[in-house]
Amino acid sequence: MNTPETSGRRAVTATELFDRVEAILLKAGLHPVQAAAVTRVIVAAEADDCKSHGVYRIEGVLRTIEAGKVKADAEPALMPDEKPTIVRVNANGGFSNASFELGAPLLADRAKEYGMAALVINDCTHFAALWPEIEFLTALGVAAMAMCPSYATVAPAGGRYPLLGTNPFAFGWPRKNGNPYVFDFATSVVARGEVELLRRAGKKLPDGWAVDPDGQPTNDPEAALAGALLPFGGHKGSAISTMIELLAGIMIGDLTSSESLEQLGSTTLSPSHGELIIAFSPEAFADHRGRNPFSRAEALFEAIAGQGARLPSERRFAARANSEKHGLILDDTEFETLTRLEAASARR
Ligand code: NDP
Ligand code: PYC
Protein backbone atom coordinates (compact mmCIF):
# COMPACT_ATOMS: atom_id res chain seq x y z
CA MET A 1 0.00 0.00 0.00
CA ASN A 2 1.13 3.51 -0.84
CA THR A 3 0.90 5.23 2.55
CA PRO A 4 0.82 9.03 2.64
CA GLU A 5 2.59 10.05 5.85
CA THR A 6 2.20 13.79 6.13
CA SER A 7 1.47 15.68 9.35
CA GLY A 8 0.52 12.68 11.46
CA ARG A 9 -1.81 11.25 8.82
CA ARG A 10 -1.45 7.57 8.02
CA ALA A 11 -3.46 5.01 6.10
CA VAL A 12 -5.37 2.02 7.38
CA THR A 13 -7.20 -0.56 5.30
CA ALA A 14 -11.00 -0.59 5.41
CA THR A 15 -10.87 -4.16 6.74
CA GLU A 16 -8.48 -3.27 9.56
CA LEU A 17 -10.55 -0.25 10.57
CA PHE A 18 -13.76 -2.29 10.38
CA ASP A 19 -12.33 -5.04 12.61
CA ARG A 20 -10.99 -2.56 15.19
CA VAL A 21 -14.19 -0.52 15.43
CA GLU A 22 -16.46 -3.57 15.48
CA ALA A 23 -14.37 -5.19 18.24
CA ILE A 24 -14.66 -2.04 20.39
CA LEU A 25 -18.43 -1.94 19.93
CA LEU A 26 -18.89 -5.66 20.60
CA LYS A 27 -16.81 -5.37 23.76
CA ALA A 28 -19.06 -2.52 24.86
CA GLY A 29 -21.98 -4.95 24.67
CA LEU A 30 -23.55 -3.90 21.37
CA HIS A 31 -25.56 -6.70 19.72
CA PRO A 32 -23.59 -8.13 16.75
CA VAL A 33 -26.28 -6.99 14.28
CA GLN A 34 -26.03 -3.44 15.60
CA ALA A 35 -22.24 -3.47 15.96
CA ALA A 36 -21.75 -4.50 12.33
CA ALA A 37 -24.23 -1.94 10.98
CA VAL A 38 -22.82 0.93 13.10
CA THR A 39 -19.27 -0.02 12.11
CA ARG A 40 -20.21 -0.02 8.41
CA VAL A 41 -21.34 3.63 8.52
CA ILE A 42 -18.32 4.77 10.55
CA VAL A 43 -15.90 3.08 8.13
CA ALA A 44 -17.86 4.44 5.14
CA ALA A 45 -17.59 7.97 6.59
CA GLU A 46 -13.81 7.63 6.96
CA ALA A 47 -13.48 6.16 3.45
CA ASP A 48 -15.32 9.21 2.07
CA ASP A 49 -13.44 11.71 4.28
CA CYS A 50 -16.57 12.72 6.20
CA LYS A 51 -14.76 13.26 9.47
CA SER A 52 -17.74 14.62 11.43
CA HIS A 53 -19.40 11.18 11.28
CA GLY A 54 -16.40 8.84 11.32
CA VAL A 55 -14.07 7.61 14.08
CA TYR A 56 -14.84 10.78 16.05
CA ARG A 57 -18.38 9.41 16.68
CA ILE A 58 -17.26 6.17 18.41
CA GLU A 59 -16.86 7.82 21.81
CA GLY A 60 -20.37 9.29 21.61
CA VAL A 61 -21.72 5.84 20.75
CA LEU A 62 -19.90 4.33 23.76
CA ARG A 63 -21.06 7.14 26.09
CA THR A 64 -24.65 6.54 24.98
CA ILE A 65 -24.33 2.80 25.66
CA GLU A 66 -22.74 3.40 29.08
CA ALA A 67 -25.44 5.93 30.02
CA GLY A 68 -28.08 3.29 29.20
CA LYS A 69 -29.68 5.66 26.69
CA VAL A 70 -29.57 3.12 23.86
CA LYS A 71 -30.56 -0.54 24.11
CA ALA A 72 -27.29 -2.25 23.32
CA ASP A 73 -28.84 -5.71 23.08
CA ALA A 74 -31.79 -4.64 20.90
CA GLU A 75 -32.58 -6.32 17.60
CA PRO A 76 -34.69 -4.41 15.07
CA ALA A 77 -38.07 -5.85 14.15
CA LEU A 78 -40.00 -5.53 10.90
CA MET A 79 -43.56 -4.58 11.89
CA PRO A 80 -46.65 -6.18 10.31
CA ASP A 81 -47.87 -4.32 7.19
CA GLU A 82 -50.28 -1.44 7.85
CA LYS A 83 -50.36 -0.33 4.22
CA PRO A 84 -48.28 -1.89 1.42
CA THR A 85 -46.47 1.41 0.82
CA ILE A 86 -45.45 1.92 4.46
CA VAL A 87 -42.66 -0.37 5.64
CA ARG A 88 -42.10 0.08 9.36
CA VAL A 89 -39.15 -1.15 11.42
CA ASN A 90 -38.97 -0.76 15.17
CA ALA A 91 -35.38 -0.35 16.32
CA ASN A 92 -36.53 -1.35 19.82
CA GLY A 93 -34.30 1.30 21.32
CA GLY A 94 -31.17 0.36 19.37
CA PHE A 95 -29.12 2.37 16.85
CA SER A 96 -30.90 3.19 13.58
CA ASN A 97 -28.40 1.55 11.24
CA ALA A 98 -29.40 -2.12 11.60
CA SER A 99 -33.06 -1.12 11.26
CA PHE A 100 -32.32 0.57 7.95
CA GLU A 101 -30.47 -2.52 6.72
CA LEU A 102 -33.46 -4.67 7.68
CA GLY A 103 -36.09 -2.50 6.00
CA ALA A 104 -34.34 -1.03 2.97
CA PRO A 105 -34.52 -4.00 0.53
CA LEU A 106 -38.27 -4.26 1.13
CA LEU A 107 -38.63 -0.48 0.72
CA ALA A 108 -36.96 -0.66 -2.71
CA ASP A 109 -39.16 -3.60 -3.76
CA ARG A 110 -42.32 -1.78 -2.68
CA ALA A 111 -41.26 1.44 -4.45
CA LYS A 112 -40.74 -0.53 -7.66
CA GLU A 113 -44.11 -2.24 -7.26
CA TYR A 114 -46.21 0.80 -6.29
CA GLY A 115 -44.18 3.70 -7.72
CA MET A 116 -43.27 5.01 -4.30
CA ALA A 117 -43.03 3.74 -0.72
CA ALA A 118 -41.79 4.87 2.68
CA LEU A 119 -39.64 3.23 5.32
CA VAL A 120 -40.40 4.42 8.84
CA ILE A 121 -37.89 3.64 11.57
CA ASN A 122 -39.21 4.16 15.10
CA ASP A 123 -37.56 4.17 18.52
CA CYS A 124 -33.99 4.43 17.30
CA THR A 125 -30.85 6.20 18.46
CA HIS A 126 -29.35 8.12 15.54
CA PHE A 127 -25.87 9.55 15.07
CA ALA A 128 -25.00 8.80 11.47
CA ALA A 129 -24.69 10.49 8.09
CA LEU A 130 -27.57 9.65 5.74
CA TRP A 131 -25.76 9.20 2.43
CA PRO A 132 -24.82 5.52 3.03
CA GLU A 133 -28.57 4.80 3.21
CA ILE A 134 -29.30 6.83 0.09
CA GLU A 135 -26.54 5.08 -1.83
CA PHE A 136 -27.82 1.67 -0.74
CA LEU A 137 -31.18 2.56 -2.32
CA THR A 138 -29.86 4.18 -5.50
CA ALA A 139 -27.78 1.01 -6.04
CA LEU A 140 -31.10 -0.85 -6.10
CA GLY A 141 -32.32 1.49 -8.86
CA VAL A 142 -34.68 3.78 -6.93
CA ALA A 143 -34.52 7.50 -6.16
CA ALA A 144 -34.74 8.22 -2.45
CA MET A 145 -34.86 10.88 0.22
CA ALA A 146 -34.10 10.47 3.91
CA MET A 147 -34.62 12.78 6.87
CA CYS A 148 -34.71 12.73 10.64
CA PRO A 149 -34.91 15.11 13.58
CA SER A 150 -31.99 15.28 16.00
CA TYR A 151 -32.04 17.08 19.36
CA ALA A 152 -32.84 20.74 19.91
CA THR A 153 -29.62 22.61 19.16
CA VAL A 154 -30.76 24.98 16.38
CA ALA A 155 -32.69 28.26 16.73
CA PRO A 156 -35.45 28.86 14.16
CA ALA A 157 -34.73 31.78 11.80
CA GLY A 158 -35.60 34.96 13.66
CA GLY A 159 -35.44 33.12 16.99
CA ARG A 160 -32.55 32.90 19.45
CA TYR A 161 -32.81 29.64 21.38
CA PRO A 162 -32.48 25.93 20.51
CA LEU A 163 -35.71 24.34 19.32
CA LEU A 164 -35.03 22.50 16.05
CA GLY A 165 -32.41 19.84 15.45
CA THR A 166 -29.59 19.90 12.92
CA ASN A 167 -32.08 17.69 11.05
CA PRO A 168 -30.22 16.09 8.11
CA PHE A 169 -31.86 15.84 4.69
CA ALA A 170 -30.50 13.65 1.92
CA PHE A 171 -31.56 12.75 -1.61
CA GLY A 172 -30.26 10.42 -4.26
CA TRP A 173 -30.96 9.66 -7.94
CA PRO A 174 -29.68 6.42 -9.50
CA ARG A 175 -27.48 6.67 -12.58
CA LYS A 176 -26.99 3.79 -14.97
CA ASN A 177 -23.26 4.46 -15.30
CA GLY A 178 -21.10 5.69 -12.48
CA ASN A 179 -21.91 7.19 -9.12
CA PRO A 180 -25.42 8.32 -8.22
CA TYR A 181 -26.41 11.95 -7.77
CA VAL A 182 -26.49 12.39 -3.96
CA PHE A 183 -26.69 15.30 -1.57
CA ASP A 184 -26.79 15.02 2.20
CA PHE A 185 -26.68 17.99 4.52
CA ALA A 186 -27.66 19.27 7.92
CA THR A 187 -30.44 21.88 7.76
CA SER A 188 -28.36 23.96 10.16
CA VAL A 189 -25.60 26.01 8.47
CA VAL A 190 -23.35 23.07 9.29
CA ALA A 191 -23.55 19.81 11.24
CA ARG A 192 -22.90 20.12 14.96
CA GLY A 193 -20.15 17.54 14.54
CA GLU A 194 -18.24 20.03 12.35
CA VAL A 195 -18.48 22.66 15.11
CA GLU A 196 -17.19 20.14 17.64
CA LEU A 197 -14.22 19.31 15.37
CA LEU A 198 -13.44 23.04 15.00
CA ARG A 199 -13.62 23.44 18.81
CA ARG A 200 -11.11 20.60 19.22
CA ALA A 201 -8.82 22.17 16.61
CA GLY A 202 -8.96 25.52 18.47
CA LYS A 203 -10.47 27.29 15.46
CA LYS A 204 -13.11 30.04 15.25
CA LEU A 205 -16.46 29.74 13.48
CA PRO A 206 -17.32 31.90 10.47
CA ASP A 207 -19.92 34.65 10.97
CA GLY A 208 -23.54 33.59 10.74
CA TRP A 209 -23.21 30.05 12.02
CA ALA A 210 -24.33 30.35 15.62
CA VAL A 211 -25.53 32.32 18.63
CA ASP A 212 -24.34 32.08 22.23
CA PRO A 213 -26.57 31.08 25.19
CA ASP A 214 -27.84 34.71 25.34
CA GLY A 215 -28.90 34.54 21.68
CA GLN A 216 -26.04 36.84 20.54
CA PRO A 217 -23.98 36.05 17.41
CA THR A 218 -20.77 34.18 18.22
CA ASN A 219 -17.65 32.86 16.49
CA ASP A 220 -16.64 30.79 19.51
CA PRO A 221 -17.39 27.05 19.02
CA GLU A 222 -17.74 26.52 22.79
CA ALA A 223 -20.34 29.30 23.05
CA ALA A 224 -22.09 27.99 19.92
CA LEU A 225 -22.34 24.47 21.37
CA ALA A 226 -23.76 25.93 24.59
CA GLY A 227 -26.05 28.26 22.61
CA ALA A 228 -27.60 27.42 19.25
CA LEU A 229 -26.62 26.87 15.62
CA LEU A 230 -28.58 28.75 12.95
CA PRO A 231 -30.49 27.18 10.04
CA PHE A 232 -28.90 27.29 6.56
CA GLY A 233 -30.46 29.83 4.22
CA GLY A 234 -32.34 31.73 6.93
CA HIS A 235 -36.12 31.23 6.82
CA LYS A 236 -35.78 28.64 4.01
CA GLY A 237 -33.61 26.20 5.98
CA SER A 238 -35.75 26.89 9.04
CA ALA A 239 -38.88 25.82 7.14
CA ILE A 240 -37.24 22.66 5.76
CA SER A 241 -36.05 21.78 9.24
CA THR A 242 -39.59 22.32 10.57
CA MET A 243 -40.93 20.06 7.79
CA ILE A 244 -38.55 17.34 8.99
CA GLU A 245 -39.82 17.73 12.57
CA LEU A 246 -43.38 17.32 11.19
CA LEU A 247 -42.80 14.40 8.78
CA ALA A 248 -40.02 12.44 10.49
CA GLY A 249 -41.09 13.26 14.06
CA ILE A 250 -44.75 14.03 14.56
CA MET A 251 -46.21 12.26 11.48
CA ILE A 252 -44.45 8.95 12.16
CA GLY A 253 -45.46 9.04 15.81
CA ASP A 254 -42.00 9.65 17.13
CA LEU A 255 -40.08 12.36 18.98
CA THR A 256 -39.38 15.90 17.83
CA SER A 257 -35.90 17.33 18.45
CA SER A 258 -37.01 19.19 21.57
CA GLU A 259 -38.73 16.07 22.96
CA SER A 260 -35.60 14.07 22.18
CA LEU A 261 -33.38 16.49 24.09
CA GLU A 262 -35.81 16.54 26.99
CA GLN A 263 -35.71 12.73 27.15
CA LEU A 264 -31.91 12.54 26.78
CA GLY A 265 -31.06 15.45 29.08
CA SER A 266 -27.69 16.02 27.38
CA THR A 267 -26.13 16.94 24.05
CA THR A 268 -23.11 14.73 24.74
CA LEU A 269 -25.02 11.54 23.90
CA SER A 270 -26.60 10.34 20.64
CA PRO A 271 -30.27 11.36 20.36
CA SER A 272 -33.27 9.02 20.09
CA HIS A 273 -36.15 9.64 17.69
CA GLY A 274 -37.35 8.19 14.37
CA GLU A 275 -36.39 8.42 10.72
CA LEU A 276 -38.31 8.61 7.45
CA ILE A 277 -36.97 7.35 4.13
CA ILE A 278 -39.04 7.66 0.95
CA ALA A 279 -38.18 5.80 -2.25
CA PHE A 280 -39.46 6.46 -5.78
CA SER A 281 -39.35 4.47 -8.99
CA PRO A 282 -38.46 7.03 -11.69
CA GLU A 283 -39.69 4.65 -14.41
CA ALA A 284 -43.08 4.25 -12.74
CA PHE A 285 -43.61 8.02 -12.60
CA ALA A 286 -42.35 8.64 -16.16
CA ASP A 287 -44.12 5.67 -17.72
CA HIS A 288 -47.23 7.46 -18.94
CA ARG A 289 -45.26 10.33 -20.42
CA GLY A 290 -43.08 8.14 -22.60
CA ARG A 291 -39.90 10.04 -21.75
CA ASN A 292 -36.80 8.39 -20.33
CA PRO A 293 -36.13 9.87 -16.86
CA PHE A 294 -32.56 8.61 -16.74
CA SER A 295 -31.34 10.09 -20.02
CA ARG A 296 -33.09 13.38 -19.18
CA ALA A 297 -31.42 13.41 -15.75
CA GLU A 298 -28.03 12.86 -17.42
CA ALA A 299 -28.64 15.89 -19.63
CA LEU A 300 -29.38 17.96 -16.51
CA PHE A 301 -26.21 16.77 -14.72
CA GLU A 302 -24.12 17.48 -17.81
CA ALA A 303 -25.58 20.99 -18.05
CA ILE A 304 -24.67 21.64 -14.39
CA ALA A 305 -21.14 20.35 -14.84
CA GLY A 306 -20.94 22.20 -18.16
CA GLN A 307 -21.04 25.49 -16.27
CA GLY A 308 -18.05 24.44 -14.20
CA ALA A 309 -20.21 23.64 -11.15
CA ARG A 310 -19.56 20.44 -9.30
CA LEU A 311 -22.24 17.92 -8.36
CA PRO A 312 -22.75 17.20 -4.66
CA SER A 313 -20.87 14.11 -3.44
CA GLU A 314 -18.12 14.52 -6.06
CA ARG A 315 -15.67 15.38 -3.28
CA ARG A 316 -16.79 12.28 -1.38
CA PHE A 317 -16.50 10.01 -4.39
CA ALA A 318 -13.01 11.34 -5.09
CA ALA A 319 -12.06 10.68 -1.46
CA ARG A 320 -13.47 7.16 -1.77
CA ALA A 321 -11.43 6.49 -4.90
CA ASN A 322 -8.34 7.70 -3.04
CA SER A 323 -9.16 5.45 -0.05
CA GLU A 324 -9.56 2.47 -2.35
CA LYS A 325 -6.14 3.17 -3.82
CA HIS A 326 -4.16 4.29 -0.76
CA GLY A 327 -6.20 3.18 2.24
CA LEU A 328 -8.32 5.27 4.62
CA ILE A 329 -6.44 8.25 6.00
CA LEU A 330 -6.62 8.77 9.78
CA ASP A 331 -4.78 11.42 11.77
CA ASP A 332 -2.87 10.96 15.03
CA THR A 333 -5.89 11.90 17.15
CA GLU A 334 -8.03 9.26 15.44
CA PHE A 335 -5.36 6.55 15.86
CA GLU A 336 -4.93 7.59 19.50
CA THR A 337 -8.72 7.34 20.00
CA LEU A 338 -8.81 3.80 18.59
CA THR A 339 -5.85 2.66 20.69
CA ARG A 340 -7.25 4.23 23.87
CA LEU A 341 -10.68 2.69 23.35
CA GLU A 342 -9.14 -0.73 22.65
CA ALA A 343 -7.14 -0.49 25.87
CA ALA A 344 -10.30 0.47 27.79
CA SER A 345 -12.11 -2.49 26.12
CA ALA A 346 -9.38 -4.86 27.26
CA ARG A 347 -9.83 -3.69 30.88
CA ARG A 348 -13.60 -4.47 30.82
P1 NDP B 1 -21.67 19.78 4.12
O2 NDP B 1 -22.08 21.19 4.21
O3 NDP B 1 -20.24 19.43 4.27
O4 NDP B 1 -22.11 19.12 2.72
C5 NDP B 1 -23.40 18.96 2.39
C6 NDP B 1 -23.63 18.42 1.00
O7 NDP B 1 -23.32 19.45 0.06
C8 NDP B 1 -22.79 17.22 0.59
O9 NDP B 1 -23.57 16.38 -0.23
C10 NDP B 1 -21.64 17.88 -0.18
O11 NDP B 1 -20.98 17.02 -1.11
C12 NDP B 1 -22.34 18.97 -0.88
N13 NDP B 1 -21.45 20.09 -1.22
C14 NDP B 1 -20.59 20.76 -0.42
N15 NDP B 1 -19.97 21.73 -1.10
C16 NDP B 1 -20.45 21.69 -2.37
C17 NDP B 1 -20.21 22.43 -3.56
N18 NDP B 1 -19.34 23.44 -3.58
N19 NDP B 1 -20.88 22.10 -4.68
C20 NDP B 1 -21.77 21.08 -4.69
N21 NDP B 1 -22.05 20.35 -3.59
C22 NDP B 1 -21.40 20.65 -2.46
O23 NDP B 1 -22.50 18.88 5.18
P24 NDP B 1 -23.15 19.20 6.60
O25 NDP B 1 -22.17 19.72 7.57
O26 NDP B 1 -24.39 19.98 6.40
O27 NDP B 1 -23.54 17.69 7.01
C28 NDP B 1 -22.52 16.69 7.12
C29 NDP B 1 -23.11 15.35 7.47
O30 NDP B 1 -23.70 15.39 8.75
C31 NDP B 1 -24.21 14.82 6.54
O32 NDP B 1 -23.75 13.59 6.03
C33 NDP B 1 -25.42 14.63 7.43
O34 NDP B 1 -26.20 13.48 7.16
C35 NDP B 1 -24.78 14.50 8.80
N36 NDP B 1 -25.70 14.89 9.86
C37 NDP B 1 -26.31 13.92 10.59
C38 NDP B 1 -27.20 14.28 11.58
C39 NDP B 1 -27.94 13.26 12.35
O40 NDP B 1 -28.76 13.62 13.20
N41 NDP B 1 -27.77 12.00 12.14
C42 NDP B 1 -27.48 15.68 11.89
C43 NDP B 1 -26.80 16.61 11.03
C44 NDP B 1 -25.92 16.23 10.06
P45 NDP B 1 -19.47 16.51 -0.78
O46 NDP B 1 -19.62 15.58 0.40
O47 NDP B 1 -19.01 15.82 -2.00
O48 NDP B 1 -18.66 17.74 -0.44
O1 PYC C 1 -23.54 16.57 13.54
O2 PYC C 1 -25.35 17.72 13.98
C3 PYC C 1 -24.71 16.68 13.97
C4 PYC C 1 -25.36 15.46 14.49
C5 PYC C 1 -26.36 15.37 15.39
C6 PYC C 1 -26.62 14.02 15.57
C7 PYC C 1 -25.76 13.33 14.78
N8 PYC C 1 -24.99 14.23 14.12
pLDDT digits (tens, 9 = 90+) for 40-64: 999 999 999 999 999 999 999 999 9
Domains (range + CATH), the chain: 1-66+313-348 (1.10.1530.10), 72-184+234-311 (3.30.1370.60), 189-230 (3.30.60.50)
Query: Which ligand has the shortest distance to the CA of 301?
Result: 1
> At residue 21, does pLDDT exceed 60?
yes
Pairing of strands 143-147, 272-280: antiparallel
pLDDT (tens digit per residue) in 268-280: 999 999 999 999 9
Backbone angles phi, psi at 261, to 5 degrees: -65, -40
Instruction: Check residue 112 and give its pLDDT.
Output: 98
Q: Which of 106, 91, 111, 89 is nearest to 278 (CA)?
A: 111
Task: Dump pLDDT digits (tens) for 122-132.
Answer: 999 999 999 99
pLDDT in tens, 106-116: 999 999 999 99
- Give the percent of the chain with pLDDT over 90: 96
pLDDT score for 8: 84
Look up the pTM and report it.
0.96
> Across the chain, what does the average pLDDT equal?
96
CA of 57 to the centre of ligand 2 (A): 9
Residues in the chain: 348
User: In the predicted model, what is the mean pLDDT of residues 11-38?
Assistant: 98
CB 315 less than 6 A from any atom of ligand 1: yes
- Residue 348: what pLDDT? 79
pLDDT at 7: 55
Mean pLDDT of 226-251: 98
Please give the distance, rounded to the nearest whole angstrom, from the Cα atom of residue 79 to the centre of ligand 1.
31
Backbone angles phi, psi at 217, to 5 degrees: -55, 140
- Does 53 qualify as catalytic in the annotation? yes
- Would the CA dihedral through 183, 185, 190, 196 be positive or negative? negative
**What is the rounded distance in angstroms from the CA atom of residue 30 to the CA atom of residue 23?**
10
